Amino acid sequence: MNIDKLKEKDKQYIANTYNRFDLSISKGAGSKVFDGEKKYIDFGSGIAVSTFGLCDREWVEAITKQANTLSHTSNLYYTNPSVDLAEKLCKKASMQKVFFSNSGAEANETAIKCARKYSYDKYGDDRYEIITLKNSFHGRTMATLSATGQDSMHKYFNPFLDGFKYADANDIESIKKVASDKTCAIMFELVQGEGGVNVLDPKFVAEVCAFAKANDILTIVDEVQTGNGRCGSYFAYMQYGIKPDIVTTAKGLGGGLPIGAVLMNEKTENVFDFGSHGSTFGANPICCAGAISVVDRLDEKFLKTVTDRSNYIVQKLKNIEKIKSVSGLGLMLGLEIDVNAKQVAIECMEKGLLVLTAKNKVRLLPALNISYQEIDKGIEILAEVLK
Ligand SMILES: *Cc1c(COP(=O)(O)O)cnc(C)c1O
């Protein structure tokens, strides 16, 4: 179908929730995507999802083999891929137990339920508030939208879920001001992705964790975007030297298939009991097999190459005068510019490079194994657009 026809049918049959770029993608291979014959370098990896690029051979083999063996069972029965993946994640993160969901928002929903039940079991009914940060993003469901600390997200769908308090990032006094004897958890991203690639200050994070610990308030780290090697360590929290009570992840975990995970520590591992939570698709064997092929490759040696690539990119970006600053961690980078970021993304696309935006920053989330040649070519295009 040519793009005009495709656009017309998309408009006719698909809900109008996405303001898409004027591009149809028919094929992908590694860090390249194709629109028919036309080729693009991919600096977005499907919003940090395709960890090893598109249609990565090892990943395709893993999911194909699993699809030919056992495609789905529901959670009424035991399966190997789910247990294998859970064990690997727990060992990587030094956590105790995993709950599998199908997306980031669902993982955060689970974390919110876990925190509330932890507090309910221990303190009773009235201790349910969760503090989140302004400018955060935690998802699109009613609870995770409510958790998201952006006023622009809190319209149309009233009433939102009660029990969220918003504090300023990098300001411990702001946290203490909204905390009370009703507070059961503090939830945050270490690098705010959708909020503009803002890296949290390590001192603030340490203060938050100390304050939480002293008051038996749980810490929930949302690693939906930052996790699975994206920031140069398996999870970003590892670079902060903290031990969260709950970690959520999704995006890059599945390498291109939908899966989310909630990791729980000694404090939270037994909060859920039979019937208190569940998911029909959760721990789908094909998604788990894909995730295993991703997780297995994210060892220390590989993670070092993520940081190497990041340093290389940041160094090269310094030569582009119009980029005023670069924020981020690992291969999650935000470029501060004076011109309209969306317009820059459109012009990059026209020249053969896909980039993302976050607020008015250009956001780069390339596959973790993108080649240096592709990096060079992509930055060349970006430099041309920002000339
Ligand atoms: C993308 C994202 C989510 C939502 O994930 P979905 O899979 O779209 O539901 C939640 N939190 C963060 C930090 C994200 O980046």
pLDDT at residue 47 in the model: 98
pLDDT in tens, the chain (387 residues): 889 999 999 999 999 999 999 999 999 999 999 998 899 999 999 999 999 999 999 999 999 999 999 999 999 999 999 999 999 999 999 999 999 999 999 999 999 999 999 999 999 999 999 999 999 999 999 999 999 999 999 999 999 999 999 999 999 999 999 999 999 999 999 999 999 999 999 999 999 999 999 999 999 999 999 999 999 999 999 999 999 999 999 999 999 999 999 999 999 999 999 999 999 999 999 999 999 999 999 999 999 999 999 999 999 999 999 999 999 999 999 999 999 999 999 999 999 999 999 999 999 999 999 999 999 999 999 999 999
Which stretches of 227-381 are assigned E, i.e. beta strand? 246-249, 260-264, 325-329, 332-336, 353-354, 356-358, 361-364
> Is any ligand 1 atom within 6 A of the Cβ of residue 223?
no
For residue 250, give the ligand 1 atom closest to its CA. Answer: 7
- pTM for this entry: 0.98
Listed residue (93, 48, 51, 47) closest to 234, CA to CA: 93
- Could you give the count of Cα atoms lying within 13 Å of 371 in the half-sphere of its Cβ? 8
* Nearest one of 101, 68, 74, 73 to 85, comparing CA atoms: 101
The alpha carbon of 44 and the centre of ligand 1 are apart by a number of angstroms equal to 15
Indicate if ligand 1 lies below 6 Å from the C-beta of 285. Answer: no
CB neighbourhood size of 126 (10 A): 11
Both tokens assigned to 302: 């590989």
Of 42, 165, 47, nearest to 104 by C-alpha is 47
pLDDT at 1: 81
Cα–ligand 1 centroid distance for 105 (angstroms) = 6
